[in-house]
Structure 1
Amino acid sequence: MPPAPDAAQREAARTLEVLKRMRLAEEAILARAPEHDLQPSLDRIQAVMELLGDPQRTFPVIHLTGTNGKTSTTRIIDSLLRELGLKTGRFTSPHLHSMRERIALSGVSISAEQFLDAYDEVLPFVEMVDARSVAEGGPLMTYFEVLVAIAYAAFADAPVDVAVVEVGLGGSWDATNVADGSVAVVTPIALDHQHFLGHDVESIATEKSGIIKPDSLVVAGIQEPEVAQILAERAGEVGARIAFEDTEFGLLTREVAVGGQQLSVRGLAGEYDELMLPLHGAHQAHNTVLALAAVEAFLGGGEQRLDPDLVRAGLATAASPGRLEVVRRSPTVLVDAAHNPAGALALRDALEDSFTFARIIGVIAILKDKDATEMLEILEPVLDHVVVSRTTSPRAMRPEELGDLAIEIFGEDRVTVVADLPDALDVAAGLADEGGLGGGVLATGSVTTAAEVRMLLGVSEV
Structure 2
Amino acid sequence: MTLHPKVIDLSLGRMERILTALGNPERKLPPSVLIAGTNGKGSTQAMIRAGLEAEGLKVHAYTSPHLARFHERITVASETIGEDFLAEMLAECEAANGGAPITYFEITTAAAFLAYSRVPADFAVIEVGLGGRLDATNVISPDVCVITPVSRDHEQYLGNTIAAIAGEKAGILRPGVPAAIAPQVAEAEEVILATADRLGTPLRVGNRDWQIWEEHGRAAYQDGDGLIDLPLPRLIGAHQVVNAGTAITALKLLGRGNPERALTDAVWPARLQHLRRGPLVDLAGRAELWLDGGHNPAAGIALAEAVTRLSPRPLHLICGMLSTKDVEGYLRPLAGVAQSLHAVSIPGETATLPAAATAAAAARAGFSEVVRAEDVASAIRAITASAPDARILICGSLYLAGGVLRENG
Q: Which TM class, normalised by the smaller chain length?
A: over 0.9
CA contact (8 A) 1:267 1:289 kept: no
Q: 1:342 to 1:105 in 2, by over 3 A?
A: same
Percent pairwise identity: 28
Q: Could you tell me how far apart the structure 2 residues matched to 1:275 and 1:285 are?
A: 10
User: 1:100-249 counterparts in 2 under 5 A?
Assistant: 100-127=71-98, 130=100, 140-249=101-210
- Counterpart-to-counterpart distance in 1, 2:36 and 2:216: 28
Q: Which residue of 1 aligns with 2:274?
A: 326
SS at match of 2:126: strand
Letter in 2 for 1:429: T
Cα deviation, residue 423, structure 1: 1.5
Aligned partners of 1:252, 1:400: CA distance in 2, in Å?
A: 41
Aligned match for 1:455, one of 384, 406, 409: 406
Native 8 Å contact 1:181 1:212 kept in 2: no
Conserved 8 A contact 1:268-1:296: no
Distance 1:284 1:431 in 2: 33
Question: What SS does the corresponding residue of 2:60 show, helix, strand or coil?
Answer: strand
Q: Is the 8 A contact 1:278 1:318 kept in 2?
A: yes
Shift of 1:151: 0.7
Q: How do 1:336-415 and structure 2 match up within 5 A?
A: 336-352=292-308, 354-392=309-347, 393-410=349-366, 414-415=369-370
> Quick one: structure 1 residues 405 and 38, their matched pair in 2 at CA, closer, same or farther if it must change by over 3 Å?
same
Q: Secondary structure at the residue paired with 1:382? A: coil
Counterpart CA distance in 2 for 1:338 and 1:432 is 25
Cα distance in 1 between the residues matched to 2:326 and 2:151: 13
Question: Number of paired residues?
Answer: 399
Q: 1:389 to 1:252 in 2, by over 3 A?
A: closer
Equivalent runs, 1:258-269 vs 2, <5 Å:
262-267=218-223, 269=225
Query: Is the counterpart of residue 42 in structure 1 residue 12 in structure 2?
Result: yes
Measured in 1, the distance between the counterparts of 2:323 and 2:219 equals 38
Within the alignment, does 1:64 sit opposite 2:20 as a pair? no
Query: In structure 2, what is the equivalent of residue 294 of structure 1?
Result: 250
Distance 2:169 2:365 in 1: 33
Q: Distance in 2 between matches of 1:41 and 1:284?
A: 31
Aligned partner (choices 264, 282, 287) of residue 316 of structure 1: 264
Structure number with greater CO (CA < 8 Å, separation at least 6) is 2
95, 101, 118: which is aligned to 2:66?
95
Aligned amino acid, residue 284 of structure 1: Q
**Structure 1 CA distance for aligned equivalents of residues 244 and 107 of structure 2:** 30
**Structure 2 counterparts to residues 1-40 of structure 1, below 5 A:** 32=3, 37-40=7-10
Q: Give the Cα separation in 1 of the matches to 2:63 and 2:216.
A: 29
Question: What does the per-residue CA deviation read over 1:304-338, in whole Å, with 9 as the maximum and x for residues that have no partner?
Answer: xx6xxx43234322111100000036211110011
Q: 1:124 Cα shift?
A: 1.1
User: Structure 2 CA distance, aligned partners of 1:120 and 1:448?
Assistant: 26
Mapped to 2, the partners of 1:394 and 1:431 lie a distance apart of 32
Structure 2 equivalent of residue 278 of structure 1: 234
Distance 1:171 1:274 in 2: 31
Q: 1:295 Cα deviation (Å)?
A: 1.0
RMSD (CA atoms): 1.9
Q: Secondary structure at the match of 2:231?
A: strand
Preserved CA contact (<8 Å) 1:51 1:125: yes
Give 1:440's aligned amino acid: R
The CA deviation at 1:253 is 2.9
**Which residue of 409, 417, 442 maps to 2:372?**
417
What TM-score do you get using the length of structure 1 for normalisation? 0.82
Could you tell me which runs of 5 or more consecutive residues in structure 2 were left unpaired when the two chains were aligned: none
**How many Å separate the matches in 1 of 2:391 and 2:175?**
49
Contact 1:363 1:428 in 2 (8 A): no
Amino acid at match of 1:405: A
Supply the distance in 2 between the matched residues of 1:335 and 1:401 (Cα, whole angstroms). Answer: 21
Alpha-carbon distance between aligned partners in 2 of 1:114 and 1:430, rounded to the nearest angstrom: 47
Give the aligned residue type for 1:209: A
Of Structure 1 and Structure 2, which has the larger fraction of its residues in helix?
A: 1
Closer/same/farther in 2, CA of residues 285 and 104 from structure 1, 3 Å limit = same
Deviations 1:186-215 (A, max 9, x none): 001011110100000010011111100121
Q: Say which SS state the counterpart of residue 383 (structure 1) adopts.
A: coil
Q: SS of 1:148's equivalent?
A: helix
CA deviations on 1:233-284 (whole Å, 9 max, x unpaired) are 211222210111111112143455xxxxx32222564432133522110111
Question: Counterpart in 2 of 1:133?
Answer: none
Distance 1:316 1:408, change over 3 A: closer
* Maintained 8 Å contact 2:213/2:241: no
Contact 1:367 1:397 in 2 (8 A): yes
Q: Which moved further from structure 2: 392-401 or 189-198?
A: 392-401
Q: Distance in 2 between matches of 1:228 and 1:155?
A: 33
Which structure: larger Rg? 1
Q: Is the 8 A contact 2:7 2:104 kept in 1?
A: no
Give the residue type in structure 1 aligned to 2:290: L
Distance apart, 1:120 and its partner CA: 2.6
